[in-house]
Structure 1
Amino acid sequence: MEYPVWWLPSVSGGLLIACISIIHVFIAHFAVGGGFFLVLTERKGYAEDNPHIVEYVKRHTKFFLLLTMVAGGLTGVGIWFTISLVSPAATSVLVRRFGFGWATEWVFFLCEIVALLIYHYRFGKMSRRDHQIIGWLYALFAFLSLFVVNGIITMMLTPGNWLETKAFWDGFWNPTFWPSLWLRFSICLMFAGLFALVTAYRIEDEKTREQMIRYAVRFVAYPFALLVACAVWYVFALPEAQLSMVLKKSAQTPQLVEIFLPLSAVLLVGVLTFAYVTPQAVRPVLLAVLLVVGIGQIGTFEWIREAGRRPYIIYGYMWSNSVLVEQTEDIRKNGMLAYAKWSNIREINEDNLLKAGEDLYRIQCLGCHGLSGPMFAAEKVAAGLTREGLMAQFNGQGKLREFMPPFLGNDAERKAVSAYLAHAMNKSLEEEPAKQPQIEDVTLPAFNLEDSEYVLVAWGTEGVNTISDNYSNFTMQIPGSTIRAQLFLRDEVPEIVTEDVVLTYRIEKAFSTPAEHVTFWHYANQLTGKDLPPDTGICDINLIGTFKLDEENRAFVACSLPIFPYSNSGTVNPYPLLNVEARTADGKLLAATKVAVPISTEWGCRNCHDGSWRVADTAGISNKTADNILAAHDKINGTSLVDKAEHGTPPKCQSCHESSRTGDAGKKEILGFSAAIHGWHANYLTGRDDITCESCHPAAHNTNTQAMRGLHVDRDITCTNCHGTMEDHALGLLKAEKEKGKPRAEFLMTNLTPRVSATFDEVQPREAWTNQPDCGVCHSFSETPDSDASAVNKWTENAQGLFKNRKDDLEAVMCQACHGTAHALYPADNGYGEVRNNITPMQYQKFAAPLGSEGSCICHTMEMSVYDSAHHPIVEK
């Protein structure tokens, strides 16, 4: 915020620093270890009275001088130049707080230069003793330079008490000072041996050449033991937070830690092979490979050190976007632009939205993420996200993926930078227009209040059954809508009929061949363990069949009918009609009705994860969206779901994540499906109301499904009145998982704060699909519920308490028979018309309301007052 930003959108600052610093550090470590190699090898030559060795040292010194002083010096200046442009705030802190250390190091460096120049240009022109003293002085000053620089750069990862005192020595003598020093020194000696091979293999005298090659190998082999010991020491010297980041939380370092020691071992084996096995003619090729391995070794270590301090650039003091940690809350409150000295924008509006987003991107993102380029480019890491997805990402940034700093800014700034990045990646900034369902005529079966003997009522047990439909990529739910029905013999005291009657169902013809529209049956065996014929559900029944008697509920049930919203004409209707008939055993028709089966494939995954709708630009998960979801899962969890899908074995979510709804046990240590999916996304969708629910569930009136269509909508009751906000909803599920001993639950709960419950302790744990909002909490039948009534944390004790399983006070009539299903309580209303949404009341009482409303007691053949209801008390209006 204090400094201008070097605008390089195709090359991130991290890439620039990496390219220059790795080369410099490679050479610098050689410069330290090489000093010891020179003087020790010179001493060896004089001790053995071998002029060939002395002559080799002299030639090697020239190579050493040119590489370390010229190339090393230039890249050293290059590092300072680059970090001053890319991270000026952090560079300023290092200079101001550790000026004494840098001044000391520069003195040592000057002494290095003087000693090396004398050592080279006076080689053979001064006494052996004095020349070796100069050599030892060079080695000492080089080591002291390493000593000082090591203290400062290790402070950036493990500042220790410096965070409180800001004292030079508290930062210098930090927890990783000593292990880092000796680890680096072991690398210095190994590089001295490696570079010695560069000049040694060119010695013409074969005997001297082989002798010096094998001598150089010792500088790689002996320090290797020190390197292994110090690497282990270094890792365990890290404080818990940094250790966890290095070994677990970072997206890169766990893999880098795993390859650092193997790379070092490869270097050791390589130089041994070079010395004892490889023919002279092949040695240049192997040497080039070993130099690359050496760069890889030091690059890996530096990357671990750099990435290990994320999300900070100076751990606990300055975020990686160069903002001081102590400024975080002020910036969140007032916005980043209020403090940005190099931005002209202070207030965001529609006219400057993209420009404001660009400024925010420069300040907060460009240091690590170029728009394009080879390293962490925004167009790659955010390729699977829409503008809404980017906004969610910035909202949750740093909460679960802890190697990222939090987004520092207010909601308007989050909107601006999301819009800018979406625009830069050629993604749409426009909101999707509201869907306009087409009302289709519904012909109701005849019913005559005077003459009809029976009332047949049928309903889907769920207000909407939302399923995934891209089975070639993954399966969230096995298709299946369960239909219940009850048959009543009309009388003064009506009778529920369950004997000597056959209830049948038949889907309307346009929706009778779902296998032509989805690939479920191609994967049915691996998903269900059954070889299901086309258009047959997991209960082994198809779309034309007979209900089974459910004696416990005195009802009939058709289990898991594989109904989809796709018609044979190419349209999408989430409420296809199921014709239901009741006949005697000899086929006499007693009654008929219809059910608008609520079935949707309009999951809102694409709202964040990009991609189009799969079918008719209206519904379904497209391949692009599915691929983005699987890729994100793989990236976060280290799975290989994309590969499985590509090889014909697409995953089923519940194969790992248990679900009481589907009956899948999942894996014991892994979170249940609802807890996992709500718990993760809640961290990215905080601070919202029911719009969060509608981002995923097709409930809103701008969707094609418009699933939230019952009478509660007219009462301004939303998802959050019954289920709680996203945070509360997720916490209840996660709390239950935590009680089962699943450690991931605690992790997902850490950054969630309940909004309906006053405290975390008030959040009641709940099992998905079992502990749901209890209708009786608001509806006591003694008075009308208050407008702010809420069922949050007042869950049903078990599945029998669910609305879909409840019956009246007589334990006879199921609640849904008269009132409709959850989210579609009569009178229901959406874009599909009054009749389709209220078939039962429109058929029997000619108006949309719960059966029995306004004195229309259709099952009773005598006039009755609804206020004398035996089914449940009714509040007088």
Structure 2
Amino acid sequence: MDGNDYSVFSILPPYNNLVAQLIQKDYDPKHVTQGVTITYEALPSLDGKLNTTSVTKTNFWDYVLKLFGVSLEPDQGLANSYVQSTTPQPLHYDAQHHWWTAEGIPVSPRNDDGSYNMYPMVKVVAKDSNGNVLAETTTVLPVSDEMDCKKCHSSTSGYTAARPLSGWVDMNDSEKDYKFNILRLHDQKHPTAVLEHNASLSAKGWNYNPDGLEATAQAGTPVLCASCHKSNALPGTGVDNIKPLTAAIHGKHAGVIDPVTNMTLNNSTNRNACYTCHPGATTQCLRGAMGKAKNADGTNKMQCQSCHGVMSAVGSSTREGWLDEPNCQSCHQNGQRYTEAVTSMSLGTLREALDTRFATKPDTPMAGKSLYRYSTGHGELQCSACHGSTHAIYPSAKPEDNIQSIQAQGHAGTIGECTACHTTVPMTTSGGPHGMHTVGQAWVSAHGGVVEHGGSSSCTACHGSDYRGAPLSETMTARTFNTEWGTKTFPAGHKVSCYDCHNGPNID
């Protein structure tokens, strides 16, 4: 969400999606799609504080009719889901995507006592028709209002490059001040924008003042940026022949000089350039395994640009916002783990995949696109069910994110323990996730025969071409095995190698 004030303009409404899949645990697990109810409800965060309402924390509901043309009940979202509370709210089954979902939960980043919490927690509960609890889990609804533009557009920012020619608006209300400055600057650069497109806007229900956007907001009608600038996050928005929102904003700001670094945002190659607007310096949205990876000197190994390219690439006219995104196979391929998905930062060109072992699903959710957040893998589970959400890949730097994986398998990290879904561990050489073999003591006892009859070449994808271990063979938790050579104990993070027990892959 873009701030707490919606009386001037809105880029994005409060809108958070919760997705779940229910699995009947068995030797051969099954998806449960009917005969149950699944609900979500507020849980105290790790500091014990609750977030159970949003209507008292933002004026969104005062202006939702003028912005989006709908009337909503307090705490009701645009897709009819309600804010998490102490009253369980339903998820609904979506047969197209084979998941249960509550779409557009209008969550706020403030606890009920007014303190900030960008990671409010919810409990998701599945019950049978008699009300018996079948399963439950804990997850977060990440949210931030740090996208506020004040750094440059506030009347007190001192950033003269963003100052309208007619001067700052100098409002006492800081939440309105920077927004009116932006509208004034937009009118200065595009003085006839509303007049030229008023017919198209009116046809879609937006009635703006022909004198401009500032005049529109001053008269009490807030402006929805996507009414003119198409956003795939808000289907049906936009006017033909006007730049999409992502192209307009990223393209325009690529050449802006950051007053802190004195560099253009496009020339910056670290996440601070993105955190100026996106959540954010406090929220630390990029918090998963990739975001928290460090170089030997303690600096971040991966940046936003490592996957997305620089700002001008994100704002390219050929890119579809929210749909043209990085994919897993650009980094995870051919037994390698690259730290940059793009081969050209300036163009945002993704690395070609040499294999599809870790690939997102093609033509998902539509032809020509391949998005992680819609892709499925082993057992038709969503990729995020085992790996976590896009910017919070397990294990996350935020302990709240890790609770679900700990509940499922006893430790934080990718859900890779077979017993998370299987009552009895199945024996397989390559039938596990991403072509994996069975994990645990059963595999230790059986793998010798597999190698003897099938060779060891397939082992290199995870254990390295020299069989001495690689990132994909790391143990996710401490493990102890019984072997012909006695008990072997490996700490979490150990790269399992043929040389741990043998003198190489072909020698006892």
- TM-score over 0.5 for the pair: yes
Offset, 1:664: 3.2
1:696-727: CA deviation from partner (whole Å, max 9, x where unpaired): 2124xxx2211110101243121111100112
| Secondary structure in structure 2 of the residue aligned to 1:593 | strand
Deviation string for 1:746-780 (max 9, x for gaps)? Answer: xxxxxxxxxxxxxxxxxxxx211111112222223
1:91-115 CA distances to partner (integer Å, 9 max, x unpaired)?
Answer: xxxxxxxxxxxxxxxxxxxxxxxxx
State whether structure 2 residue 226 is matched by structure 1 residue 682.
Answer: no
Show the counterpart of 1:536.
Answer: 76
**Residue in structure 2 matching 1:705, options 269, 272, 283:** 283
* 2:412 aligned residue: 848
Q: Which has the higher strand share?
A: 2
Distance 1:818 1:591 in 2: 16
Instruction: Show the counterpart of 1:870.
Output: 432
- CA deviation after TM superposition for structure 1 residue 678, in Å: 0.7
Residue 226 of structure 2 aligns to a residue whose secondary structure is helix
Aligned counterparts of 1:497 and 1:729: Cα–Cα separation in 2: 39
Q: Note if contact 1:660-1:768 (Cα within 8 Å) is conserved in structure 2.
A: yes
The answer to whether the aligner puts 1:492 opposite 2:70 as a matched pair is no
Note closer, same or farther for the CA distance 1:798–1:846 as it changes in structure 2 (3 Å cut).
Answer: closer
Q: CA deviation at 1:840?
A: 1.2
Runs of 4+ with deviation above 4 angstroms: 795-798, 864-867
Question: What corresponds to 1:723 in structure 2?
Answer: 308
8 A contact 1:605–1:621 mirrored in 2: no
Matched, 1:567 2:136: no
Cα distance in 1, alignment partners of residues 174 and 391 from structure 2:
23
Alpha-carbon distance between aligned partners in 2 of 1:554 and 1:729, rounded to the nearest angstrom:
30
| C-alpha separation in 1, matches of 2:290 and 2:108 | 26
Which amino acid in structure 2 is aligned with residue 785 of structure 1?
R
Work out whether residues 27 and 426 of structure 2, in 8 Å CA contact, stay in contact via their aligned partners in 1: no
Q: Shift of the alpha carbon at 1:658?
A: 0.8
For 2:408 and 2:25, the matched residues in 1 are separated by 12
Quote the offset at 1:488 in angstroms: 1.1
**Which amino acid counterpart does residue 711 of structure 1 have in structure 2?**
A
Amino acid corresponding to residue 312 of structure 2 in structure 1: E
Q: CA deviation at 1:627?
A: 2.2
**Partner amino acid, structure 2, of 1:568:** D
Q: Which residue of 1 aligns with 2:67?
A: 527
Deviations 1:272-312, CA, capped at 9 Å, x for gaps: xxxxxxxxxxxxxxxxxxxxxxxxxxxxxxxxxxxxxxxxx
Q: Distance in 2 between matches of 1:809 and 1:594?
A: 22
CA separation of 1:788/1:651 partners in 2, compared to 1, >3 Å: closer, same or farther? closer
CA distance in 2: counterparts of 1:728 and 1:659, whole angstroms: 17
1:514 Cα offset (Å):
0.7
Match of 2:350 among 781, 785, 794: 794
Deviation at 1:467, TM superposition (A): 3.6
Give the whole-Å Cα distance in 2 for the aligned partners of 1:508 and 1:528: 30
1:555 alignment counterpart: 99
Tell me by how many angstroms 1:508 deviates.
Answer: 4.2
Shift of 1:686: 3.1
Tell me if the contact between 1:666 and 1:672 (Cα under 8 Å) persists in the aligned partners.
yes
Residue aligning to 2:373: 804
Contact 1:546–1:558, Cα closer than 8 Å, also in 2: yes
Q: CA deviation at 1:662?
A: 0.7
TM alignment of 1:316-355, pairs within 5 A = none
Deviation at 1:863, TM superposition (A): 3.2
- Superposition pairs for residues 619-634 of structure 1, below 5 Å? 622-634=175-187
What is aligned with 2:277? Answer: 696
2:130 paired residue number? 586
Residues 1:668 and 2:203 are matched in the alignment: no
Task: Give 1:841 shift.
Answer: 0.8
**Distance in 2 between the 1:612 and 1:487 partners?**
51
Q: Distance in 1 between matches of 2:403 and 2:5?
A: 31
The structural deviation recorded for 1:596 is 0.8
CA distance in 2, matches of 1:486, 1:797: 21
1:814 aligns with 2:382: yes
Looking at structure 1, the residues matched to 308 and 220 of structure 2 have their Cα atoms a distance apart, in angstroms, of: 38
Please name the residue that 1:577 is paired with: 121
2:340, 2:308 → 1: CA distance?
13
The structure carrying a bigger helix percent of its residues is 1
Query: Contact 2:378 / 2:434 at 8 angstroms: preserved in 1?
Result: yes
Q: Are the equivalent residues in 1 in contact too, given 2:247–2:314 (CA < 8 A)?
A: no
Per the alignment, residue 233 of structure 1 pairs with none
User: Counterpart of 1:498 in structure 2: which amino acid?
Assistant: T
SS for the counterpart of 1:533 is: coil
In 1, the alpha carbon distance for the partners of 2:364 and 2:24 equals 32
Change (3 A) 1:788 1:652: closer
1:447-486 deviation per Cα after TM superposition (whole angstroms, max 9, x unaligned): xxxxxxxxxxxxxxxxxxx544320111111221111001
Counting matched residue pairs gives: 363
* Aligned partner letter, 2:180: D
- Following superposition, the deviation at residue 673 of structure 1 comes to 0.6
| 1:652 counterpart residue number | 224
Query: Who is 2:203 aligned against?
Result: none
| SS across alignment from 2:413 | coil
Question: Are the equivalent residues in 2 in contact too, given 1:470–1:621 (CA < 8 A)?
Answer: no
* d(CA) in 2 for partners of 1:871, 1:686: 38
User: In 1, Cα distance between the equivalents of 2:148 and 2:82?
Assistant: 28
TM-score (norm 1): 0.40
Match of 1:515 among 40, 55, 65: 55
Cα distance per residue 1:321-371 (max 9 Å; x no partner): xxxxxxxxxxxxxxxxxxxxxxxxxxxxxxxxxxxxxxxxxxxxxxxxxxx
Q: In 1, distance between residues paired with 2:429 and 2:9?
A: 51
Partner of 2:496: none
Deviations 1:637-694 (A, max 9, x none): 2262222222110100011111111113311121111111011111223321123212
2:329 aligned with 1:776, yes or no?
yes
Deviation at 1:586, TM superposition (A): 1.8
**Could you tell me whether the CA contact under 8 Å between 1:612 and 1:625 is conserved in 2?**
no
Unaligned segments of structure 1, at least 5 residues: 1-465, 614-619, 737-765
Work out the CA distance in 2 between the residues paired with 1:783 and 1:694: 32
Alignment of 1:740-755 (within 5 A): none
Unaligned runs of 5+ in 2: 45-49, 158-172, 194-211, 257-264, 294-300, 352-361, 437-461, 464-472, 474-508
User: Under a length normalisation based on structure 2, what TM-score does the superposition of the two structures give?
Assistant: 0.67
CA separation of 1:687 and 1:572: change in aligned 2, threshold 3 A: same
Specify whether residues 789 and 866 from structure 1 end up closer, same or farther in structure 2 by C-alpha distance, changes over 3 A only: farther
CA contact (8 A) 1:654 1:664 kept: no
Deviations 1:498-538 (A, max 9, x none): 12111011234832221111111111112222111111011
User: 1:553 is paired with a residue of what secondary structure?
Assistant: coil
- From 472, 481, 501, give the equivalent of 2:36: 501
- Which secondary structure does the structure 1 equivalent of 2:373 belong to? helix
8 Å contact 1:722–1:790 — kept in the other structure? yes
- SS of residue matched to 2:17: strand
- For the aligned residue pairs, the C-alpha RMSD in angstroms reads 2.4
